[in-house]
């Protein structure tokens, strides 16, 4: 076998890792013996989404690889090991532990480091930066001791960091040297709106401030003194004032550098030494550093093909970006400032809803040169395509940004109008042609398309465009994904929901006659049963509804393996009086039921025969209990912690709120079960972040988390809105839940539902908070109707002789089920196993 060439890569950041992926993909990885130096203590992770660490993502969630890629391809990674020297004469890299690694080819992917202005005091304790997971850990630790935080830098990274400081619960200040925020990407008009939106979120913005020194504070840990004589007291300073290329190795080994740093590269990303490449944020191409990930990936692509013996060239990269800064959409495309000669712009500014949009067009008004969008960036995708592909603008270019009020379709840009070469996903360099080819090869849904093209797995900005391209291509091919609920209805659950609501349909029979065929089955019947209950909230055991219910709903209890049932009375918020606790015990004792505390803060009584259920429930109802819906696709429990009433850390009455919410939403039938949690402070003893709806008390109100769950695929909830008063909190929950009920698939929990919503969390926010669909009033009314028509199903059942009759095990006998046999274990009953049954007497 021919000697393999030795390739050394220094840096395992986003771009260094991407290079390896590309080398594996184009199979050049086989030709080289590859060694990687990774200075950080972990393999490459997603720096772009670093802030999500504070929204509950773990280091594993952010990881770009679990190491399999390296192991499977025989690649050596030295984790936690920095390269300290390059001997270009002997072609050797020296590591911090003294190891020497020879190379034939070397790639520098060392990224950049945060720029910290060298003012006196910049190195005090609690003066931090924001680039690595370790930085975030240090920030969390410092924040725990702080009340006030100041971020130095009002650019893209600074505002991202400010959000983190805010989320950590600190009073937050942003200090910007320039007269406005995000001076590089957006213009004055956009900046003004951005500032006002950010200030409305409670972040204080100080522009035109030059910090001269940081000294001991009086009321806080630090005092920052400004050149204009003013000062700010803060407990923590976070520097986010730009980046500097990490070019120390190149400098010490004599490679050509730019005047202000950065490793000079040519179009093949080669440095002044042709055996050494530089890519990503350390590379200086044509006098420019690219501080975004997509250009870095393009450079990685160029080097990967060069190493494989092909020629490709880096010819610059588009720096357009779309971001969410503190919840505010901000996008900048191309020549955002209108610097091109003869260019002219159209501006739309709405100071009421705080939306700013500008497009810059060429002298003839034919082509789009740039754009700025603040407050609403939904046009980003199509505007970007207009610019990148030099598509002829419509007759009235301003139609592209003016609001559509008469219900007419927006003047967007259908994927149909794009050329094959149009870049759909710039993070991963995926063109329309490549996506169409993948669809031809059988990737006919979004997950498949994402896996095989990687489109939309980076910043996610291209997701809406990708989806509409897919839909259009499927449509063209006459392909349709079958989303029918079952053979009896050629509709999705969402369709059926609308048919029921709009057509005022009250029974399954009516729906089947009008819109279905056959007799139904165990898929459509419970789904329709649940829809009817969500819409009209009729008693689920009424004759026409009885047969639709799953056995658990039919008998208002959970069937166990031996055909007996368990009983879970509601214990709102987990709060229970001693009398009620005694009553539970008495009933359990009388009927000899196995008794267990559940994971949902209530008590479960097992081993009741069907025929015993009405009598047991009559007693429970007399003792003041209601059904707990443990059997239903409906609200289960609102888990609480004890909260400020007792707990020395509590900042609000979480138990009280939990009880209130449980009473409000009990009985709401939904596509899947719903669980809430309410915690009284950030210690989060109620585990609210693992619930569909999670609420955590703050000094200023309640933080709302949504779409979390435990179970088979645990997911932390996403922070949806902060510092809400109770009325707003309830309003948001009403809307969100009713939107879920109207919109989700059968047996789809809120997490999966939200992940599948086009536009995800942002879209959900825009519907629930900004009323993007104009349906909120309706959703609130629908919820109110459900709340107003609540009745305890068990109370209704025991009061109705017709219902009670259905609980007998035999229609023609009072006998019980002879196959139900118990034995005793740890002082309680349990179902007998087969061997035990043979020797035992029937129960």
Partner 1 sequence: MLTIHTSDQRWVDICAVEDLTPEAGCGALLEDQQVALFYLPNQPEQCFAIGNFDPLGGANVLSRGIVGNLGDRLVVASPLYKQHFDLRTGACLEDESVSVPCFSSRIVSGRVELATTLADNSSG
Ligand X SMILES: Cc1cc2nc3c(=O)[nH]c(=O)nc-3n(C[C@H](O)[C@H](O)[C@H](O)COP(=O)(O)OP(=O)(O)OC[C@H]3O[C@@H](n4cnc5c(N)ncnc54)[C@H](O)[C@@H]3O)c2cc1C
Residues at the interface with ligand SRM (CB under 6 A): 558, 560, 566, 568, 596, 598-600, 602, 604, 630, 636-637, 673, 675, 709-712, 749
Bridge partners, 558 (sequence order): 566
Q: Which of 246, 634, 690, 703 binds ligand X (CB under 6 A)?
A: 246
The item of ligand FES, ligand X, ligand SRM, none sharing an interface with residue 564, based on CB under 5 to 8 Å by kind, is none
Q: Which of 207, 457, 551, 698 binds partner 1 (CB under 8 A)?
A: 551
40 binding ligand X? (CB under 6 A): yes
User: Shortest approach of ligand FES to residue 719 CB, angstroms?
Assistant: 22
- The one-character DSSP state at 390 is T
User: Shortest approach of ligand SRM to residue 706 CB, angstroms?
Assistant: 13
Contacts 24+ apart (CB under 8 A), 81-87: 81/37, 81/38, 81/39, 82/37, 82/39, 83/10, 83/37, 83/39, 83/249, 84/249, 85/249, 85/252, 85/253, 86/249, 86/250, 86/252, 86/253, 86/276, 87/253
Q: Which is nearer to ligand SRM, 743 or 766 (CB)?
A: 743
DSSP for 149-189 reads EEEE--SHHHHHHHHHHHHTT-EEEEE-SSSSTTTTTS-HH
Length of the chain: 843
Residues 810-839 as x/- pattern, contact with partner 1 by CB under 8 A: xxxx-x-x-x--------------x-----
Residues 261-300 as x/- pattern, contact with ligand X by CB under 6 A: -------------------xx---------xxxx-x----
Q: Which is nearer to ligand X, 94 or 452 (CB)?
A: 94
Nearest to 53 by CA among 138, 122, 116, 144: 138
Do the Cβ atoms of 15 and 300 come closer than 8 Å? yes
Do the Cβ atoms of 534 and 668 come closer than 8 Å? yes
Please give, one letter per residue, the 3-state secondary structure of 756-768: HCCCHHHHHHHHH
Do the Cβ atoms of 564 and 606 come closer than 8 Å? yes
Q: Provide the binding-site residues for ligand FES, judged by CB under 6 A.
A: 425-427, 455-462
Starting from the edge strand earliest in sequence, which strands make up the sheet with 236-239, in order? 127-129, 236-239, 148-152, 171-175, 204-206
Encoding tokens for residue 140?
């969390």
The item of ligand FES, ligand SRM, ligand X, none sharing an interface with residue 462, based on CB under 5 to 8 Å by kind, is ligand FES
Phi-psi region of 226 (alpha: psi -120 to 50; beta: other; left: phi over 0): beta
The item of ligand SRM, ligand FES, ligand X, none sharing an interface with residue 110, based on CB under 5 to 8 Å by kind, is ligand X
Encoding tokens for residue 365?
């008004």
Binding piece for partner 1, criterion CB under 8 A, among 57-65, 115-123, 746-754, 804-812: 804-812
Residue 97 neighbours by CB under 8 Å, 6+ apart: 81
691 binding ligand X? (CB under 6 A): no
State the maximum Cα–Cα separation within the chain, in Å, rounded to a whole number: 98
User: Shortest approach of ligand X to residue 720 CB, angstroms?
Assistant: 21
The item of partner 1, ligand SRM, ligand FES, none sharing an interface with residue 809, based on CB under 5 to 8 Å by kind, is partner 1
Residue located via tokens 């590859």: 34
User: Shortest approach of ligand SRM to residue 450 CB, angstroms?
Assistant: 23
Phi-psi region of 213 (alpha: psi -120 to 50; beta: other; left: phi over 0): beta
The item of ligand SRM, ligand X, ligand FES, none sharing an interface with residue 602, based on CB under 5 to 8 Å by kind, is ligand SRM
459 binding ligand X? (CB under 6 A): yes
User: By beta-carbon distance, which residue lies closest to ligand X?
Assistant: 13
Please, which of residues 321-340 interact with ligand X by CB under 6 A? 323
User: Shortest approach of ligand SRM to residue 749 CB, angstroms?
Assistant: 5
224 binding ligand X? (CB under 6 A): no
Binding piece for partner 1, criterion CB under 8 A, among 159-167, 226-234, 685-693, 802-810: 802-810
Contact residues for ligand X, defined by CB under 6 A = 10-16, 37-40, 47-48, 50, 82-83, 109-112, 130-131, 157, 160, 246, 249, 280-281, 291-294, 296, 323, 459
Contact residues for partner 1, defined by CB under 8 A = 487-488, 518-522, 524-526, 543-544, 546-552, 554-555, 559, 561-563, 610, 805-806, 808-813, 815, 817, 819, 834
């Amino acid at each position: 076998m021919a000697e393999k060439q030795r390739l050394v890569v220094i840096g395992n950041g986003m771009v260094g890792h991407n290079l390896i992926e590309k080398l594996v993909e184009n199979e050049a990885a086989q030709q080289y013996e590859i060694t990687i130096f990774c200075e950080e203590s972990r393999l490459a992770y997603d720096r772009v989404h670093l802030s999500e660490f504070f929204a509950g993502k773990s280091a594993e969630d952010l990881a770009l690889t679990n190491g399999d890629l390296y192991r499977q391809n025989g690649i050596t990674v030295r984790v936690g090991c920095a390269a300290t020297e390059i001997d270009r004469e002997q072609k050797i890299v020296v590591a911090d532990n003294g190891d020497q690694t020879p190379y034939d080819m070397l790639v520098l992917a060392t990224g950049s480091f945060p720029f910290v202005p060298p003012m006196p005091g910049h190195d005090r304790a609690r003066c931090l930066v924001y680039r690595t997971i370790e930085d975030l850990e240090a920030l969390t630790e410092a924040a725990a001791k702080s009340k006030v935080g100041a971020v130095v830098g009002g650019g893209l990274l600074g505002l991202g960091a400010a959000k983190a400081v805010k989320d950590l619960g600190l009073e937050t200040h942003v200090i910007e040297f320039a007269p406005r925020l995000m001076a590089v990407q957006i213009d004055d008009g956009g900046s003004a709106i951005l500032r006002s939106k950010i200030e409305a979120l409670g972040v204080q913005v100080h522009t035109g401030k030059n910090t001269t020194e940081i000294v001991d504070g009086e009321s806080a840990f630090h005092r920052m003194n400004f050149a204009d004589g003013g000062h700010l007291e803060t407990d923590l300073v976070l520097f986010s004032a730009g980046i500097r290329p990490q070019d120390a190795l190149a400098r010490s080994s004599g490679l050509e550098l730019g005047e202000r740093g950065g490793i000079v590269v040519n179009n093949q990303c080669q440095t002044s030494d042709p055996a050494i490449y530089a890519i990503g944020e350390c590379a200086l191409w044509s006098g420019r550093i690219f501080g975004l990930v997509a250009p870095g990936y393009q450079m990685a692509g160029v080097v990967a093909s060069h190493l494989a013996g092909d020629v490709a060239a880096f010819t610059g990269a588009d720096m357009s970006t779309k971001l969410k800064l503190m919840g505010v959409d901000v996008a900048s495309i191309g020549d955002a400032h209108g610097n091109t000669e003869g260019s002219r712009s159209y501006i739309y500014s709405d100071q009421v809803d705080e939306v700013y949009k500008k497009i810059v067009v060429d002298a003839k008004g034919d082509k789009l040169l740039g754009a700025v969008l603040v407050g609403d960036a939904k046009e980003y995708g199509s505007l970007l395509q207009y610019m990148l592909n030099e598509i002829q603008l419509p007759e009235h270019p301003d139609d592209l940004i003016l609001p559509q009020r008469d219900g007419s379709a927006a003047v967007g840009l259908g994927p149909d109008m794009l050329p094959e070469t149009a870049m759909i996903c710039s993070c991963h360099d995926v063109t329309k042609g490549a996506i169409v080819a993948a669809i031809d090869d059988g990737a006919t849904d979004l997950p498949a398309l994402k896996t095989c093209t990687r489109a939309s797995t980076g910043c996610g900005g291209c997701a809406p465009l990708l989806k509409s391209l897919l839909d259009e291509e499927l449509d063209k091919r006459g392909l349709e994904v079958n989303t029918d609920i079952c053979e009896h209805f050629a509709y999705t659950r969402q369709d059926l929901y609308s048919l029921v609501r709009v057509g005022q349909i009250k029974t399954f029979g009516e729906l089947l006659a009008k819109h279905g065929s056959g007799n139904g089955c165990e898929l459509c019947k419970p789904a329709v049963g649940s829809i009817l209950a969500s819409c009209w909230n009729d008693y689920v055991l009424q004759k026409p509804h009885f047969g639709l219910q799953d056995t658990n709903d039919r008998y208002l209890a959970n069937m166990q393996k031996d055909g007996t049932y368990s009983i879970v009375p509601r214990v709102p918020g987990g709060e229970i009086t001693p009398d009620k606790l005694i009553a539970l015990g008495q009933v359990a004792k009388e009927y000899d039921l196995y008794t267990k505390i559940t994971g949902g803060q209530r008590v479960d009584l097992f081993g009741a025969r069907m025929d015993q259920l009405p009598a047991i429930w009559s007693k429970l109802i007399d003792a003041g209990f209601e059904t707990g819906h443990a059997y239903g696709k409906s609200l289960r429990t609102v888990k609480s912690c004890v909260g400020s009433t007792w707990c020395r850390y509590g900042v609000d009455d979480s138990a009280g709120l939990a009880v209130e919410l449980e009473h409000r939403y009990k009985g709401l039938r939904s596509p899947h079960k719903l669980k809430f949690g309410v915690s009284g402070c950030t210690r989060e003893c109620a585990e609210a972040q693992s619930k569909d709806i999670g609420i955590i008390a703050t000094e200023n109100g309640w933080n709302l988390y949504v779409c979390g769950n435990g179970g088979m695929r645990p997911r932390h909830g996403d922070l949806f809105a902060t510092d809400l008063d109770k009325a707003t909190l309830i309003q948001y929950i009403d809307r969100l839940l009713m939107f879920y009920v109207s919109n989700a698939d059968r047996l789809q929990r809120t997490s999966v539902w939200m992940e599948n919503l086009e536009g995800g969390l942002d879209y959900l926010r825009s519907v629930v908070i900004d009323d993007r669909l104009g349906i909120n009033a309706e959703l609130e009314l629908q919820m109110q109707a459900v709340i107003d028509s609540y009745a305890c199903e068990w109370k209704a059942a025991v009061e109705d002789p017709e219902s009670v009759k259905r609980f007998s095990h035999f229609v023609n006998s009072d006998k019980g089920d002879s196959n139900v046999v118990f034995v005793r274990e740890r002082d309680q009953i349990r179902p007998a196993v087969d061997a035990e049954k043979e020797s035992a007497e029937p129960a």
